[in-house]
DNA sequence: CGGTATCCCTATTGATACTG
DNA sequence: CAGTATCAATAGGGATACCG
């Protein structure tokens, strides 16, 4: 685990994409709730505003982690799913999960769902 | 890997602490550059402003990931080091690193160091 | 050296209303 | 349903100057 340049460090490349208030949690929904998620699902599950969600989704799509698939026009229905690249985030999510499980007292979130 | 409440999800607890522009990268320095880092080291290595660094450092300290140790007053010298809890972030850092290594094209950082 | 104190700017977010 | 548009609030961050 040794990087050459800080700007091009693999950890930095990863966190540049995912390290904000929502991205990890959005990806989390795919691992926890199912491989296909719809806009409304995610919004309800996470409780963020549609513009913010739209924004993150586009970024994740652009980064090749999610893929959008529209399968109906008239009642507009689209679903997002993890790409192979997105699936490979499994170990990352697992590691975040494991650490969080070891320290249940950490953090300040207290509201239910 | 199944959580009960979203607000109290282990992943969320972890990302609540670490998921911002700098925290992962600060922790990264301890894994990559050495277990003890000083304020100036980190600032130079990462290129962030002192107030921002100070802020993150306090948060990481408060979260029990880093510990501050002042070992001189007159020429003021302090060093930060990972706690046991901080060391346990190893798998997280490794996973972030591994994913980043698999997808070297991802991200947009292009400047050198 | 190891920070704090200011000032300021911009990106992110939320709330809300609206559209195809 | 799946978003986009708009507006306002605020937190994050940079630059800089300063202090013990």
Structure tokens at B24: 């992962």
Domain ranges of chain B: 10-99
Find and give the residue nearest to C5, measured CA to C1': B51
Please write the tens of the pLDDT for every residue from A54-89: 999 999 999 999 999 988 887 888 999 999 999 999
Pairing of strands A77-82, A66-72: antiparallel
Q: Which fold has domain B10-99?
A: Arc Repressor Mutant, subunit A (1.10.10)
What's the pLDDT tens digit per position in A6-46? 778 899 999 999 999 999 999 999 999 888 899 999 999 99
Whole-angstrom distance, CA of residue B42 vs CA of residue B48? 9
- The predicted model scores a pTM of 0.91
Cα B68 from Cα B62, distance rounded (Å)? 10
Kindly report, residue by residue over A45-60, the tens digit of the pLDDT.
999 999 999 999 999 9
Which residue places its CA closest to the C1' of nucleotide C13? A52
Query: A36 — phi, psi (to 5°)?
Result: -115, 130
pLDDT value, residue B108: 43
Per-residue model confidence as pLDDT tens digits over B58-78: 999 999 999 999 988 888 899
CB of A14 nearer than 7 A to strand D: no
> pLDDT tens-digit profile of B4-42?
577 788 999 999 999 999 999 999 999 998 889 999 999
Using a pLDDT cut of 90, give the percent of chain A over it.
73
Question: Is any Cβ of chain A less than 8 angstroms from the Cβ of B84?
Answer: no
How far is the first Cα of chain B from the last one, in angstroms, to the nearest whole number? 37
Tell me how far apart the alpha carbons of residues B86 and B93 are, in angstroms, rounded to a whole number.
11
């Amino acid at each position: 685990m040794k990087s050459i340049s800080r700007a091009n460090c693999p950890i930095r490349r990863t966190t540049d994409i995912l390290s904000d208030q929502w991205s990890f949690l959005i990806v989390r929904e795919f691992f926890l709730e199912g491989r296909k998620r719809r806009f409304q699902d995610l919004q309800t599950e996470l409780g963020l505003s549609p513009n913010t969600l739209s924004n993150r989704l586009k970024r994740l799509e652009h980064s090749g982690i999610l893929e959008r698939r529209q399968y109906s026009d008239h009642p507009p229905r689209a679903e997002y799913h993890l790409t192979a690249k997105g699936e490979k985030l499994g170990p990352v999510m697992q590691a975040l999960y494991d650490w969080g499980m070891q320290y249940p007292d950490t953090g300040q979130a207290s509201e239910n769902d």
